[in-house]
Structure 1
Amino acid sequence: MGSLWTLPLVSLPLCFFFFLQRDSIGACPGETFPTVDPRTEEVLADVAKADVEDINRAVKAARKAFDHGPWPRMTAYERSKILLKYADLLEKHNDELATLDSLDSGKLYSQSQGVEIPHFVTRLFRYYAGWADKIHGKTLPADGPHQVLTFHEPIGVVGQIIPWNFPMVMFAWKVAPALACGNTIVLKTAEQTPLSACLAAKLAVEAGLPPGVLNVVSGFGETAGAAISSHMDIDKVAFTGSTETGKLVMQAAARSNLKPVTLELGGKSPFIIMPDADIDQAVELSHFALFFNQGQCCCAGSRTFVHESIYDEYIEKAKARALKRVVGDPFKSGVEQGPQVDKAQFEKILSYIDVGRHEGANLVTGGTRIGNKGYYIQPTIFSDVKDDMAISRDEIFGPVQAVTKFRTVQEAIERANNTTYGLAAGVFTKDIDTANTFSRALRVGSVWINCYDVFDAAIPFGGYKMSGQGREKGEYVLHNYTQVKAVVTPLRNPAWL
């Protein structure tokens, strides 16, 4: 098995969408694009490239499935059983899905295989299978002789656009709740990481999802993504990605049919270390908060605020930890960091490192590529970072940690909030009052106290400010995929009269 991971995955074009007809799975003719192995910079596969007409075909299939098909009309219990069967198939193919994600994105295979697919994909489908028959309305009191009911109905055809940093996790975050609510879907994969969603779509057929319910499309944002965002027959769009692209998605949705939009966007999250912290634990946790997934995480703790009393000690220990970090092939045991996802992201990160040097930040360690093949970058730490520097303001999305010092709690709060983003924050302290103060004062969607990147199917995730709108996961996400209908009926002989 290990030797196969070094070979090209396939040599033939993959189909750019699945209409979930058992006789329609296969290669589609037309234009293709390559998906590249970031370890070797070699082509893994040629993938069919969807254009506007292809999006129209996918939407037509989803529209037919919603307006006339069985999925929104079957009992919620029946939908739940299909989602549970789907989860069983995802579990059965855990290692294949993990391999595809690691090949496509460069993420650690141990992370994909042991954590992401079992806990954040399969588990999520089972969680929302449990929700399917618990989505219901209410009976409301009225001032007059009327019976008032509310129905929580599926919103319709949903367009979903997912990013490349967590391909299958984002697939599950989007698809599972939308299906549980009875919607049909057109989902566009990231052009850098299309492979695992193709297998996931095939497994959905095997699970018994009716034709047209889930349509998976591979293509580019400026064509396929734009067509989804502006399509008049799509009732709702959900997007995860950069803030800049999120703005374009919202504009396109507004210009078309004013469809509702949920956005999970960028971040520049603070990680705040108080003077009472165990310094060794703080170093390890802040290291994880930034360098996890090659730094390619929207909620990465990329702005590290350290109290001035422990700042120098922290810098020395953080440098030592970064120098110990093992960078290499993500399929090899003991490796902590794989390559960046593609050449464009690789070059963007290196350019920000150059900007950090030129703006006067102190390069503590790292700062260059590793080797001459593959998109590997040294774990990089800057100290003496000022709040107005680009490496402190902008989302780099790579293994670049910006460390700065602070004096007081109030200063840390004000500087942590002084950003256009508001996705997450970490606070490391032994004092419960300090923890409570930060948890209330920080304007972010998630606050992790003495931990970081703790996710669960039931925990909502999303941002304040330009980090997005709406929430993923938990019960909260169900509001994204349902609409409320009020039904009022007069009571001719009220029981209470």
Structure 2
Amino acid sequence: MTFRITYSVLDADMTALHAQFDEALAAVRRGLGGVFPSWIGGKAFESGDLLESRNPARPGELLARFHRTPVGEVDRVMRVAREAQRGWGATPWQERARILRKAADLISERRLSLSAIMALEVGKNRLESLGDVEESADLLRYYAGQLEEAQGFVKPLARLSPNEDTRSVLRPYGVFVVIAPFNFPLALAAGMSAGALLGGNAVVLKPSEEAPWCAEGLFHALRDAGLPDGVFQVVHGEGETLGAALVAHPGVDGVAFTGSKSVGYAIHGQLNATRIRPCFLELGGKNPAIVCKDADLEAAIEGCFRSAFGLSGQKCSALSRVYVHESLKQAFLAGLSEKARSARVGDPTEVPTFVGPVIQPASVARFEHAAAEARRDGVVHAGGERLRLAGALSDGYFVAPTVVEIAHGHRLMREELFLPFVGVTGFGALEEALTLANDCAYGLTAGIFSRKDADVAFFLEHAEAGVLYANRRTGATTGAWPGVQAFSGWKGSGSTGKGGCGPYYVAQFMREQSQTRMG
């Protein structure tokens, strides 16, 4: 294979890769039904209370079971993390970077089995799953490079006298809780954890209860790379119970969370109710694209299709609203609707599939409610129904990629749905389109299609989002990659103004100390 699997791969000969994926998938399937522990202090912890992971394409298929960590164990988990962090924080930064780079290499070596697990557990198609794993490894490498480039974040400062030595040193906070979502179960868990680990912190990872299996792979990659016991622990359980207990524990020095805006705001408020602690939040979006009068219509349709319906719309960066110049609106709607109707929906492990299932029954119910609203208040141009596929997929959580024409002020154009569901409306002037695009509580990603440099420049200057794309056929609002596009949420989409995949990420997990020595 002479290319890298990223979220922007369009055309490449992947015959050999598909054959390798098939072999890995068969091997993973032979091991279905296994039981896995939580990991506390480097040792397997088995509570006997099992969390089930099931295939959303085949809900009757049990993939694996995981021992929950009881809330009563949280004190011990935090004590272990605190003790382990003392040694890890004192470890030379060069060694920390070496271990994380080794873990990245192990993830790359194991990418096929990890991707197969992800396709089964999350419902990602092959390329999305392979991209997630590749991104995980690249995040570890990119963040290790930040630590190396900054020489461990030790910076000499100016002197007021000849016998004075001054420097700024970034030091670890202590123990971070990392709460990861289901949709990027390896990349987001790995990225948030790596930032904290490279900063000298210990990490307690709670993966999503909807997709716990990939955390097992991350734990083994870090342990096999030489990470000391207790520095990285994995605990399984529901967010409402275990996640809440971790955030509420007084021994937590910081939290990194990716998920819904409501949960993120609640975490931030609880964590900082009695003392100020770092809370890094990535909280989703209601991401717009603007299609101007002189846009390349074919590129705009392709880019919007890929960003709206990739991973069944279950990305925080997914395109969910499109503002199209009135002169192109009908042609755009016809083209996007045709692509939506022709998209292959089915088993995500099969080569032709583009759209897999949504993650759970609640997502199906949310889709059905949104579709009913769209039929009542707008026009459904494609989709709008739950799909009952044949055979073994008959009970899967499949919904049709949906294109609706609806007014900007409608709820469906305001609230994050996390579904393969995109709303379209028209505009007359670019200034109007930007006003509509910015009229949103979120500010994560946004895109524009225009052949005019002045229009693109105006968009880049005035769009209120942290990740902007212009004329991106491979994804109007999606596809950020480590070291290529920083992924920073503005407004209700983030908390720090600095993003994952970007050059300032690792430094956030450390606090500054000024050191002055007189000699």
| Aligned partners of 1:5 and 1:103 also within 8 Å | no
User: Given the superposition, is the C-alpha separation of residues 49 and 7 from structure 1 closer, same or farther in structure 2, using an over 3 Å criterion?
Assistant: same
| Correspondence 1:404-423 to 2 at 5 A | 404-423=425-444
Q: Is 2:160 aligned against 1:136?
A: no
1:377 aligned residue? 399
Query: Is contact 2:143–2:506 with CA below 8 Å preserved after alignment?
Result: no
Superposition pairs for residues 468-487 of structure 1, below 5 Å?
468-470=494-496, 471-487=499-515
* 1:407-446 → structure 2 map (5 Å cutoff): 407-446=428-467
- Within 2, Cα distance between the matches of 1:454 and 1:266? 14
| 1:135 partner SS | helix
1:467: which partner in 2? 493
1:124 equivalent in alignment to 2:142: no
Cα displacement (A) at 1:196: 0.8
**Do residues 45 (structure 1) and 64 (structure 2) align?**
yes
How far apart are the structure 1 equivalents of 2:215 and 2:350? 24
Tell me the CA shift for residue 244 of structure 1. 0.5
1:488 Cα offset (Å): 2.9
The farther-off stretch of 462-471 and 305-314 is 462-471
Cα distance between partner residues in 1 of 2:137 and 2:440: 35
- What's the CA shift for 1:242? 0.3
Q: Please give the alpha-carbon distance, in whole angstroms, between the structure 2 residues aligned to 1:116 and 1:3.
A: 16
Q: Conserved in 2, the CA contact under 8 Å of 1:274 and 1:429?
A: yes
Task: Tell me the CA shift for residue 2 of structure 1.
Answer: 7.3
Tell me the equivalent position of 1:277. 295
Return the alpha-carbon distance in structure 2 between the equivalents of residues 2 and 200 of structure 1: 17
Amino acid at match of 1:103: L
Q: What does residue 232 of structure 2 align with?
A: 214
2:174 equivalent in structure 1? 156
Aligned partners of 2:28 and 2:143: how far apart in 1?
Answer: 36
- Quick one: structure 1 residues 399 and 57, their matched pair in 2 at CA, closer, same or farther if it must change by over 3 Å? same
* CA-atom RMSD in angstroms: 1.9
Q: Offset of 1:143 from its aligned partner?
A: 5.5
Q: Distance in 1 between matches of 2:254 and 2:25?
A: 43
> Counterpart in 2 of 1:94?
111
> Aligned pair 1:31/2:49, yes or no?
yes
Contact 1:16 1:48 in 2 (8 A): yes
1:65 aligns with 2:80: no
Alignment of 1:307-346 (within 5 A): 307-346=325-364
Tell me, yes or no, if the aligned pair for 2:56 and 2:357 is still in contact at 8 Å.
yes
Report which stretch shifted further, 441-450 or 40-49: 40-49
- Deviation digits for residues 379-411 of structure 1 (CA, Å, limit 9, x no counterpart): 11101x112211101101011010010001110
Show structure 2 runs of 5+ residues with no match. Answer: 1-22, 389-393
Instruction: Decide whether the 8 Å contact of 1:83 with 1:125 is kept in 2.
Output: yes
1:82 matched to 2:99? The reply is yes
* Contact 1:328–1:335, Cα closer than 8 Å, also in 2: yes
| Bigger Cα displacement from structure 2, 445-454 vs 123-132 | 123-132
Equivalent in 380, 383, 388 of residue 366 of structure 1: 383
Moved more, 173-182 or 145-154: 145-154
Deviations 1:100-140 (A, max 9, x none): 11111111123212x2212x111221222323333323222
Residue aligned with 2:511, SS: strand
> Which whole-Å CA distance do the structure 2 matches of 1:457 and 1:191 have between them?
26
SS in 2 for 1:167: coil
Superposition pairs of residues 267-306 of structure 1, within 5 angstroms: 267-306=285-324
Displacement after TM superposition at 1:306 (Å): 0.4
Question: 5+ residue gaps in structure 1?
Answer: 492-497
Q: Tell me the number of residue pairs that the alignment of Structure 1 and Structure 2 aligns.
A: 481
Are the structure 2 counterparts of residues 110 and 409 from structure 1 closer, same or farther at C-alpha, using a change threshold of 3 Å?
closer
Deviations 1:264-323 (A, max 9, x none): 002001111011111111111111121111100101111111000111111111111111
CA distance in 2, matches of 1:6, 1:59: 33
Maintained 8 Å contact 2:34/2:63: no
Instruction: Provide the secondary structure at the position in 2 that maps to 1:487.
Output: strand
TM-score normalised by the chain length of structure 2: 0.89
User: What CA deviation, in whole Å up to 9, does each residue of 1:356-375 have, x standing for no partner?
Assistant: 222x1101111111114100
The CA deviation string for residues 465-494 of structure 1, in whole angstroms up to 9 with x for no partner, is 111112212221123211100123456xxx
Structure 2 equivalent of residue 456 of structure 1 = 481
Separation of aligned partners in 2, 1:433 and 1:376: 42
| Cα distance in 2 for residues equivalent to 1:121 and 1:188 | 17
**2:223 and 2:191 mapped to 1: Cα distance?**
19
1:173-322 equivalences under 5 Å are 173-322=191-340
The secondary structure found in structure 2 opposite 1:41 is strand
Q: Give, in whole Å, the separation in 1 of the partners of 2:24 and 2:139.
A: 28
Contact persistence 2:25–2:116 (CA under 8 A): no
Preserved CA contact (<8 Å) 1:446 1:461 = yes
Cα distance in 2 for partners of 1:467, 1:253 equals 18
- In the other structure, the counterpart of 1:494 is none
Residue aligned with 1:484, SS: strand
Give the stretch that moved more between structures: 249-258 or 137-146.
137-146
Residues 6 and 375 from structure 1, CA distance in 2 versus in 1: closer, same or farther, beyond 3 angstroms? farther
Instruction: Give aligned-pair identity as a percent.
Output: 30
Residue type at the aligned position of 1:47: F
**What residue identity is the alignment partner of 2:263?**
T
Query: Distance between the aligned counterparts of 1:266 and 1:302, measured in 2?
Result: 12
Q: Deviations over 1:212-250 (max 9, x none)?
A: 110111111111111221221111111100001001111
User: Displacement, 1:446?
Assistant: 0.7
Work out whether residues 81 and 202 of structure 2, in 8 Å CA contact, stay in contact via their aligned partners in 1: yes
In structure 2, how many angstroms separate the alpha carbons of the residues matched to 1:243 and 1:322? 28
